[in-house]
Structure 1
Amino acid sequence: MKLIPNFAELLHEIKLPVPEKCFFIEAGDEKYINKWIRDGEITCDLEKLFDWINVEYKLKKKDLNQEERRLAEEVKKRFPVDQWRVIKIFSDHQKKYRYYKKAIEDVKRRTTPRMNGQAIMTIFSPGWGINT
Structure 2
Amino acid sequence: MRLIPNFAELLHEIKLPSPEKCFLIEHGDEKYIEKWIKNGEISCELEILFEWLNKEYKLKKKHLNHEERKIAEEVKKRFPMEQWRVIRVISDHQRKYRYYKKAIEDVKNRTSPRMNEQAIMTIFSPGWGINT
Q: Same fold (TM over 0.5)?
A: yes
Of structures 1 and 2, the larger Rg is shown by 1
Q: Within 5 A, what are the aligned runs for 1:53-132?
A: 53-98=53-98
2:26 corresponds to 1:23: no
What secondary structure, in the 3-state scheme, does the structure 2 residue paired with 1:86 have? helix
Correspondence 1:31-50 to 2 at 5 A: 31-50=31-50
- Across the aligned residues of Structure 1 and Structure 2, the Cα RMSD in angstroms comes to 0.6
Q: TM-score, normalised by structure 1?
A: 0.73
Q: Which amino acid aligns with 2:6?
A: N
Alpha-carbon distance, 1:12 to partner: 0.8
1:62 CA drift (Å): 0.1
Residue 14 (structure 1) shift: 0.8
CA positional deviation for 1:97: 1.6
In structure 1, list runs of 5 or more residues that go unmatched: 99-132
* Partner Cα distance (2:54, 2:82) in 1: 10
Q: Could you tell me how far apart the structure 1 residues matched to 2:69 and 2:62 are?
A: 9
Deviation at 1:95, TM superposition (A): 1.3
Give, in whole Å, the separation in 2 of the partners of 1:52 and 1:15. 28
Q: Percent identity?
A: 77
Number of aligned residues: 98
In 2: Cα distance, 1:93 partner to 1:36 partner: 24
| Larger RCO, structure (CA 8 Å, separation 6 or more) | 2
Secondary structure at the counterpart of residue 87 of structure 1: helix
